[in-house]
Amino acid sequence: MKNIFVFDENKCVACHACAVACMLENGIQENGLWRKLKYNDQQHRPNLPLFYLSMACNHCEDAPCMKNCPALAYHKDQTTGAILHNADKCIGCKYCTWTCPFDAPVFNRQRGIIEKCTFCNHRLEEGDVPACALSCPTGALAFQQKEFSREESRNSSPIPVDVGTQIEIIKLRNQDPPEIDASLFDGQEMSYEVPQCEAKISAKKELPLLLFTLISAGMVALYISGHTTHFNLAAKIGFLFIGLFSGLLSLFHLGRKGQAWRSLLNIQNSWLSREILFYTLFYGTVSFDFFVHPIPWLVSAIPGILFLFSIDMVYLPAQWQWKTRVHSALTLIIMLHSLFLLNSWVVLFTVFAILRILLFFYQNNRQIREKFIPVIIRVSTITFATILIHLTDSIALPIIVYVVGEIIDRIEFYNELKTPEWELQR
């Protein structure tokens, strides 16, 4: 027997009693509701049916929030199945808001931590029902204790994930919109927009992370290129200072910076913890190499590569709707390309440049018009850098041009990341 929500799309009229019941039970939620009403089409396009989905945490068996939390702030109540968040352990990294398919964790700006639906665990423990489900005045949202197989869960999930979502969704009997006189709305098609819910991730919001990841790719490339073996003391200190500085930058997005050490706790499951572990190992071994005793370059290179690989894995949950998971601005790709440039491997650099432009176009093909300027800059910088590297012996000028292009590509990378609630809003 499992505790599950049952939601009937035929009965919900978006009355918001569930959301209000939740607030009355768990407190006013100024930073975002724990239980939200999702609409498939806010614009009432004449040929589309409009239906609603009342969504909070679905207390997944393999909860992605819990698995990915670097600070082990989540746990599962083994009796009730509730996925619970522990405020004391939270570092406010917001990574769970990227990984949850249902947009359940809410970041509380004032407290700097995440809050979320508790399944009304305090009520479940007393044999009672969650407030939202008890209060639904049309009976659309209910709570049940029943057998609920993984397959049923997969079939019910409002977006295609297989994480043991504990909600059964009774689908619309009739998928048709009401028949209406669509001629009333003729000529309005240009006003219809792809629904724009506020993007959780964007280059602007995640500027510290953007810089951190770009710098990291560059530093690893520089180290692997072998140039650092010729560094004097000042250059070595500079190298480590930039590494440390970029690490500090990444702390900026934490709601609770003082708790940052907790981010290492979930090496077992979380790529975020691994990223921080390999970051530490990379710069640790490099420092040893620089200042204590030279060590074989692989000892640092391997953690460096794993560090970048972990960074790229961290962003995976927000790439679910991409055509290809291989983005031209992955840090590993940037690192490799930088390596070719730093070592003046002209042929490799050129081949890679062509491949990356193709990949860039493949990813952007739908938005080329909207992104005209970034596309032009991206293509021209990488082309120009390639031409320069063929024409001149110095790599200083190509590097400058190349870096501009990488910044643009990485900005696009962040802007293309979309957390899964976009699908729910559609």
Quote the least distance from Cβ 83 to other proteins, whole Å: 23
Quote the least distance from Cβ 310 to other proteins, whole Å: 38
CB-nearer residue toward other proteins: 40 or 202: 40
Quote the least distance from Cβ 281 to other proteins, whole Å: 46
Locate all alpha helices (DSSP H) within 295-345, ordered by sequence: 297-314, 331-342
CB atoms within 10 A of CB 390: 11
Tell me the C-alpha distance between 343 and 222, whole Å.
Answer: 9
* H or E element at residue 416: helix 396-416
Return the amino acid letter for 317.
P
Quote the least distance from Cβ 176 to other proteins, whole Å: 8
Quote the least distance from Cβ 51 to other proteins, whole Å: 7
Quote the least distance from Cβ 46 to other proteins, whole Å: 6
Quote the least distance from Cβ 26 to other proteins, whole Å: 11
Tell me the C-alpha distance between 385 and 364, whole Å.
Answer: 21
Quote the least distance from Cβ 241 to other proteins, whole Å: 45
Tokens at 271, concatenated:
């790529």
Q: How many residues does the chain have?
A: 426
Locate all alpha helices (DSSP H) within 226-320, ordered by sequence: 233-251, 271-287, 297-314
Q: Exposed/middle/buried for 393, CB within 10 Å: 0-12, 13-18, 19+?
A: exposed
CB-nearer residue toward other proteins: 18 or 276: 18
- In angstroms, the Cα distances linking 329 to 219, 333, 369 are 16, 6, 20
Q: What is the DSSP string of 372-397?
A: HHHHHHHHHHHHHHHHHHHH-S-SHH
Tell me the C-alpha distance between 353 and 412, whole Å.
Answer: 17
CB-nearer residue toward other proteins: 127 or 294: 127
Q: What does the DSSP 8-state code read for residue 350? A: H
CA dihedral angle for residue 186, residue 195, residue 102, residue 410, rounded to 10 degrees? 150
Quote the least distance from Cβ 414 to other proteins, whole Å: 25
Positive or negative CA dihedral for 262, 268, 269, 270?
Answer: positive
CB-nearer residue toward other proteins: 27 or 160: 27
CB-nearer residue toward other proteins: 15 or 87: 15
Which residues in this chain contact other proteins in the complex, by CB under 8 A?
10-11, 13-17, 19-21, 23-24, 28-30, 33, 42-46, 49-51, 134-139, 173-174, 177-181, 183-185, 187-188, 190-192
CB-nearer residue toward other proteins: 26 or 157: 26
Q: Exposed/middle/buried for 81, CB within 10 Å: 0-12, 13-18, 19+?
A: buried
Quote the least distance from Cβ 351 to other proteins, whole Å: 47
CB-nearer residue toward other proteins: 127 or 187: 187
Residue 39 sits at φ, ψ, to 5 deg, of -115, 140
Residue 178 sits at φ, ψ, to 5 deg, of -60, 145
